[in-house]
Each structure stands twice: as structure tokens, then as C-alpha cells.
Amino acid sequence: MDEKALFSETELMVLHSNLVKLTLLDNNLANDDMISVGQMIDKIEDIVPELKGRDYDFDFEGEFRQDMDEEIGG
């Protein structure tokens, strides 16, 4: 690992997956913010090319159920 690197490859992979998840799940994200997140995703993919086109298997049903439970007070 490059000692001067801000993030390790594993940390970049975690950031990437969560940024992708953010773009898919956050309907309240402003357009400018969505563009910025997309640019961050692109930068991470430039550093870790194997992330390009990666198919994430998010548990959307679980995510939405959790959100609904929080809104309902569960």
C-alpha cells in the first residue's frame, strides 16, 4: 500500500459501494450533489478499475422496509 494514499483499496471499495447505493436509494439528493457523487464514483473507478460496471446486489426490499419502519416509528 502506498503510504501517502489517503484511502486503502479496501476503503475505496467500501466508499464506492456506498456512493452507488446513495445514488440508487436517495431520492432527495439534489442534482448538483448527484453529479458530484457520480464524479467521485468515476475517480474511484479510475483508481480501482475492477469496480467499473460492477453489479451490486443490494437488498432494496430490506432497505425500504427499514426506512418504512423508521417513518412509522417501528
Query: Is residue 68 packed enough to be buried (19+ CB in 10 Å), middle (13-18) or exposed (0-12)?
Result: exposed
What is the mean predicted confidence (pLDDT) over 40-54? 92
Q: What is the pTM of this model?
A: 0.69
**Of 12, 6, 21, 8, which Cα lies nearest the Cα of 44?**
12
| Banded pLDDT at 22 (limits 50, 70, 90) | very high
Which residue ranges make up each domain of the chain?
9-72
Q: Which residue has the higher pLDDT, 25 or 58?
A: 25
Query: Which residue has better confidence, 55 or 41?
Result: 41
